Chain A
Amino acid sequence: MLLGPALAISAVLFTLGVAGVLLRRNVIVIFICVELMLNAVNLTFVALSQHLGVGGQVFVFFVMAVAAAEAAVGLAIILAVYRHQRSVDLQNMRLLKG
């Protein structure tokens, strides 16, 4: 069946997302990588829903809703930061230092 390949592909996609987050400094790209990770998880949900019931698909629905909300708020934050710093580079964001 398709479960094994689906999980394998999902794992690779998720790892690519994590690698992207670690690799890039551009906040928007990092955000894109997070979307990649979310989609990898979605794939897992859908693949498993074939075996474990339709609840997995419902979850994907929720993930999409959350992703939309997250994208809206996250991008708004990026806009605000850019307006403040004229940059979206992670290295310039060091206000977290106490």
Chain B
Amino acid sequence: MSTLTVFWIFGVIAMLGGLLCITRRSPIGSALWLVVTLFALAAMFVLLDAQFLAALQVLVYAGAIMVLFLFVIMLLNLGRPGPSDIRGTMGIGVAIVLAGVLLFQLRVLGTAAPPEAIALPPGTMAALQQREGIIGSVAGPLFDAYLIPFEIASVLLLAAIVGAVVLAKKRL
């Protein structure tokens, strides 16, 4: 099987997972189908020379963030299917029309190729990973050119922790 075929298989899995994610009545179902999509995306990251991110995707997204979601769903006791929360005919119509227009626009944007001048020659990423290692190729810029955003991200996470505690606690 060629790389392209494998890529498409995972792509179809991801899209199916997304579709089921937004159509399941149960929030648990939605969350679990999203996990499927995340895994498929992780596989696609590997094929796109981003092995480190693939690992992060599984660890952080599928592991940490989705577990947080499931915690909250269970905390609120929403696990068993109740009355559907999908909107009526009118809502579905609006959603389909807007989503259709959006898809069309994104396709128009997606088929516009990146300018040749800034495009790297094929195999550059692989060569970079050969030279600096899979993690090192990402970590290098992260602690060099993107050091300040990195620090700001850490501050953001701290603020999020504090904010979450303040919001979720019953009595301070």
Contact = CB atoms under 8 A, between A and B. Distances in A.
Q: Do A and B come from one complex?
A: yes
Interface of A: 1-2, 4-20, 22-26, 28-29, 31-33, 35-36, 39, 42-43, 46-55, 57-58, 60-62, 64-73, 75-80, 82-83, 88-89
B86 A24 contact: yes
A26 B91 contact: no
Provide the main secondary structure of the chain B interface: helix
A66 B119 contact: no
A68 B95 CA distance: 27
Contact of A32 (B34, B52, B161): B34
Contacts of B122: 1
B104 to A, nearest CB: 9
Nearest to A20: B22
Given A19-B95, A39-B38, A64-B60, A14 B114 contact: no
A13 B11 CA distance: 10
A58 B114 contact: no
Interface string B34-78: 100110010011011110110011001100110011001101101
